[in-house]
Chains A and B, each alone.
Chain A
């Protein structure tokens, strides 16, 4: 596996090449895309992106956890967690590229 890390910088660069905006504006828009998604999720809304996947907020009940090192019981408060489900298209794309030796 290649093991490279892609960050906002590369996403902005891709937007810069794809759309005729300045580098600065491209970076701002990438940021806005992420913050719109985040704000929607914080409101409790599910965010679905076709052929990519969906982000959903789930409410988890409180429970008694345990510190694995000390064995001590610790209460875990009820909380909200974000789950991402990849679409079949994304899963298939990844497997087609990575599971076959020849690759793309």
Chain B
């Protein structure tokens, strides 16, 4: 599923909303997460998962071809940890359809 398909599914479930509003909702959600991570904040969505930023220290790397040492700058890596509920739901076997 890609973003446009996600938007279509949400539009089907919310026929009273304009599709362009759904698009803005989806864009806002991901943009807020990205903005939070860019501030160094954590994003915790219970049951789904948590996004955080991990720091990688600077290190001396090597050019694998020449063997030369190269200084590699430190960097920040976005990280996602799956929430407990989602992790469990992924492993409930192959349930036919979600219960309602």
Contact = CB atoms under 8 A, between A and B. Distances in A.
A binds B: yes
Contact of B40 (A3, A10, A30): A3
A48 B40 contact: no
Nearest to A7: B44
Nearest to A30: B29
B78 to A, nearest CB: 4
A93 B34 CA distance: 8
Contact of B34 (A10, A37, A52, A99): A52
Contacts of A84: 49, 51, 79-80
Q: Looking at chain A, what size class is its interface with the partner chain?
A: 35 or more
A94 B53 contact: yes
B25 A19 contact: yes
B90 A82 contact: yes
A41 B44 CA distance: 19
B45 A8 contact: yes
Contacts, number: 157
Contact of B48 (A38, A46, A48, A50): A38
A6 to B, nearest CB: 4
Nearest to A49: B3
Interface in B50-94: 51, 53, 55, 73-80, 82, 86-87, 89-91
21 contacts: A5-B41, A5-B44, A6-B36, A6-B42, A7-B46, A8-B45, A11-B28, A11-B32, A15-B29, A19-B24, A29-B25, A30-B25, A42-B89, A47-B6, A48-B1, A49-B2, A82-B90, A84-B51, A84-B80, A90-B34, A94-B37
